[in-house]
A and B are shown apart, each in its own frame.
Chain A
Amino acid sequence: MKPVFMTYTKKDLINLAVCMVLSVLVIPTFITTEYWYTSILIPWLCLALATIGQQVVMGYTGQLALGAAGFMAAGAFAMFNLILRVPDLGFVGSLIVSGLIAAAFGILFGLPSLKVRGIYLMVATLASQFFIIWMIDKFGWFKNYDSSGIITAQDIVILGKPFTTPLAMYFVCLAVTTVLTLLAMNMARGSTGRNWMAVRDMDIAAESMGVSLLKTKVQAFAISAFYCGVAGALFAFCYLKSLEPVAFDIKLSFKILFMCILGGLGTINGAFIGAAFILLFPVLLNAVGNNVFHGAIDATIISSIEQVIFGGLMIIFMIYEPLGMAKLWENIKQKMSLKFQSSNVKDLKSSLSKKS
């Protein structure tokens, strides 16, 4: 299919239009409970954005990295300090600069990827996770010498207008996520993405074609950290509404890793599917526990079951569908359209035979 606008095909644009109508018109009209915005939609958008970052480095460039939450923390605390100390930047400006600061960390912690690979790189990138959190805890300046440990995030003000209601914050997250997703798609489908995938699939051949491994890997880490940084800032300011390093612990990194793998490595829409699944699954499980078993099952058991099912799903996906839910979704769509076509043919045949 030929792209009609930028790198998007007609189908992409239709999908985009549907998503936009759903998210801008339908959701705000029909969903009025705050819970949905504050606990599901906003974190979903933030984590999907961070997962896109993880996709860039892991799904597209094939570098096993595990430190997304560290970069998110860098972005979140950069945002806090920028708004505090450089108020002239404004919200959007601060958001971009926080992303850039996270990207700088990304470059620093991406450098080991030139020497080590696979599981060893994963261990090396863990350093970002622990170092950034340690740094924020160690130096009081980052928290503006707040002794309570939890800092309240400043209110979001864009062009003099406050964005404090859940719906307004949802729109902020939606706007940022949409723009960054479209840019990521352009990169992934253009020459940049081809270089990433070339490094992922066969680095020696990529180098022989003139693709610089150093540049490509460092670039992927930087872009990945930028996305994570922006996601972290939104996560802190729109979802948590507070800043605490503990919120960005290794568990969050793993969560993003799972979203990436379950969603489908090397896909952008997989980031959204994976994030939705991992966020909604516990909610669903809880609902089942409460409504079907009427609380007969203890909440701690439910959360343990959650872990068991996640672990099982990871293994199943790794074995049967390494390309994740995005691929699964595509297969289902394909089968549906095939069925649809074949039933059409049957209808046609039967109508023809009736006539004759």
Chain B
Amino acid sequence: MEYERKFKIGKPILEVNNISLSFGGVKAITDTSFNVLEHEVRAIIGPNGAGKSSMLNCINGIYKPQQGTVSFKGKQIPDITPNIMAQMGLSRTFQNLALFKRMSVLDNILVGRKLHTKTNFLEVALQLPKVKKEEKLNRDRSEEIISFLEIEDIKDTPVGKLPYGLQKKVELGRALATDSTIILLDEPMAGMNVEEKRDMCRFILKVNDELGTTMVLIEHDMGVVMDISDRVVVLDYGKVIGDGTPDEVRSNQKVIDAYLGVEH
């Protein structure tokens, strides 16, 4: 399946260097390095407890690794917090869904527009003309994303009342609304049926293709990963055991051992 990409894969945009993370005596990640190239779809796979989600949390600043650095857009970031990363253009979704449950779908996506909202609370209270202008821009963009994800009919429903698959979609929408250059997806297809998975894959590829957004995703479904990603990094026990194109990874003996088990 060769097609002409609008956004050619470029230089490394995100680099993870020698990250080590432990909780008390438990080592979650040991001396892990990999990079993500501009405009690519990069997958992180590995068995349960391999440290995949911890890795994303380190990149995003929710966890502070004991060792190692993260470079984003060529800059090494000394004190990573989720807020700083968001401002630099990195957005994410969460493994167990972290939506604003009592808010509507539209409001959830509008929160994603936070960094494009410059007016302060006083201006909002007085509803100055510039607030209205900004709100309209943000609403238009959110509506665009809602129709892109084909969820127009639920946009006023409180997110907590939606089924799981749709919530996952809303979370992707919220991440998209930030207009980030890179989006981290933590198991975007977990718990979905085949049809929903196919839908999600389509959206991920569509975003990558049309907007050029770099996608980093964690996924369990090997078939899906191999189909949609440009490169795959495989973690096991917090270490990188394979890194390369899906074909390279598939034929890597260490990866096969990790997934299928080794005869002793």
A residues 188-208 touching B (CB-CB < 8 Å): 190-192, 194-195, 197-198, 200-202, 204-208
Task: For residue B59, give the distance in angstroms from its CB to the closest CB of chain A.
Answer: 11
A63 to chain B, nearest CB (A): 15
A290 vs chain B, min Cβ distance (A): 43
Q: Mark A172-198, 1 if CB is under 8 A from B, else 0.
A: 000000000001101100111011011
Question: How far apart sit A195 and B100, CA to CA, in the bound complex (Å)?
Answer: 10
Q: State whether A207 touches B102 (Cβ < 8 A).
A: no
Check if A186 sits within 8 Å of B100, measured CB to CB.
Answer: no
Residues of chain A within 8 A (CB-CB) of B86 are: 207-210
Chain A residue contacts of B94, Cβ below 8 A: 204-205
Question: Is the interface on chain B under 10, 10 to 19, 20 to 34, or 35 or more residues?
Answer: 35 or more
CB neighbours of A209 from chain B (8 A): 86, 91, 111-112, 114-115, 174, 178
A204 touching B98, Cβ below 8 Å: yes
| Cα A186 to Cα B81 with chains together (Å) | 30
**B182 → chain A, closest Cβ, in Å?**
13
Quick one: CB contact mask for B109-125 with A, threshold 8 Å, 1 for yes?
Answer: 01111110101010011
Task: List the A residue with the shortest CB-CB distance to B159.
Answer: A201
Q: Say whether A208 contacts B92, CB under 8 Å.
A: yes
Question: What is the interface of chain B mostly: helix, strand, loop, or mixed?
Answer: helix
- Contact with A202, one of B85, B101, B117, B127 (Cβ below 8 angstroms): B101
A341 at the interface (CB under 8 A from B): no
Q: Output the least CB separation between B8 and chain A (Å).
A: 29
Q: Are A204 and B99 in contact (CB under 8 A)?
A: no
Interchain CB contact under 8 A, B83 and A210: yes
Most chain A Cβ neighbours within 10 Å, of B100, B103, B135: B100
Known contacts A195-B111, A207-B81, A209-B111; A201 and B99 CB within 8 A of each other: yes
Whether B131 sits at the interface, judged by CB under 8 Å, is yes
Give Cα distance in the complex from A183 to B125, angstroms.
5
Chain A stretch 229-270: residues in CB contact (< 8 A) with chain B: 266
CA A212 – CA B83 in complex, angstroms? 7
State whether B178 touches A201 (Cβ < 8 A): no
Q: A192-B124, A204-B62, A209-B86 are in contact. Are A197 and B91 (CB under 8 A)?
A: no
Q: How far is the CA of A75 from the CA of B102 in the complex (A)?
A: 33
CB distance from A202 to the nearest CB of B (A): 5
Q: Evaluate contact between A187 and B125: CB separation under 8 angstroms.
A: yes
B82 CB–A CB distance under 8 Å: yes
Q: Could you say which residues of chain A place their CB within 8 Å of the CB of B121? A: 187, 192, 219, 223
Assess whether A201 is in contact with B102, with CB atoms less than 8 Å apart. Answer: yes
Are B111 and A206 closer than 8 Å at their CB atoms?
A: yes
Please tell me if the beta carbons of A201 and B127 are within 8 angstroms of each other in the complex: no
Q: Does B38 contact A (CB under 8 A)?
A: no
Are A201 and B131 in contact (CB-based, < 8 A)? no
Q: Are B124 and A187 in contact (CB under 8 A)?
A: yes
In the complex, the answer to whether A210 meets B103 with C-beta atoms within 8 Å is no
A23: CB under 8 A from chain B? Answer: no
B 66-95 contacts with A by CB, 8 A: 81-83, 85-87, 91-92, 94
Question: Contact: B135 with A208, CB < 8 Å?
Answer: no
A186-B126 in contact given A202-B100, A202-B101, A210-B115 (Cβ < 8 Å): yes
Are B111 and A183 neighbours in the complex by a CB distance under 8 Å?
no
A211 close to chain B: CB less than 8 A: yes
Q: Is B214 an interface residue (CB 8 A)?
A: no
- B-contacting residues, A204-226, CB 8 Å: 204-212, 219, 223
The chain B residue sitting closest to A211, CB to CB, is B114
Category for how many chain A residues contact B:
20 to 34
- A284 to B118 alpha-carbon distance, docked (Å): 49
Q: Are A201 and B115 neighbours in the complex by a CB distance under 8 Å?
A: no
Nearest opposing residue in chain B for A205, CB measure: B98
Interface residues of A in 86-100 (CB under 8 A from B): none
Across-interface contacts of A194 in B (CB, < 8 A) = 103, 107, 110-111, 114
Task: Determine whether B60 belongs to the interface, using a CB cutoff of 8 Å to chain A.
Answer: yes
CB <8 Å contact, A202 and B82: no
Closest residue of chain A to B134 (Cβ to Cβ) is A191
B187, chain A: closest CB distance, angstroms? 15
* 0 or 1 for each of B170-200: is its CB under 8 Å from A? (1 = yes): 0000100010000000000000000000000
The residues of B that contact A187 with a CB separation of less than 8 Å are 121, 124-125
A6 contacts chain B at the CB level, 8 A cutoff: yes
Q: Indicate if the CB atoms of A186 and B124 lie closer than 8 Å.
A: yes
**B114, B126, B135, B138 interface centre (most CB from chain A within 10 Å):** B114
Inter-chain contacts of A212 with B (CB < 8 A): 83
A208, B117: Cβ atoms under 8 Å?
A: no
Q: Which residues of A contact B110 (CB under 8 A)?
A: 191, 194
Nearest chain B CB to A116 CB, angstrom units: 19
How far in angstroms is the closest Cβ of chain B from A283? 34
Apart from A204-B82, A207-B83, A208-B98, 9 more pairs, CB < 8 Å: A183-B126, A197-B102, A197-B107, A198-B111, A200-B100, A201-B100, A204-B98, A210-B87, A266-B102
Q: List 29 A-B contacts (CB under 8 A).
A: A184-B125, A186-B125, A187-B124, A190-B125, A190-B127, A190-B135, A191-B113, A191-B114, A191-B117, A192-B124, A194-B103, A194-B107, A198-B100, A198-B103, A200-B102, A202-B100, A204-B94, A204-B98, A205-B100, A207-B81, A207-B83, A207-B86, A208-B83, A209-B86, A209-B115, A210-B87, A210-B115, A210-B178, A211-B111
Nearest 5 A-B pairs (CB), nearest first? A205-B98, A201-B100, A210-B86, A190-B124, A210-B115
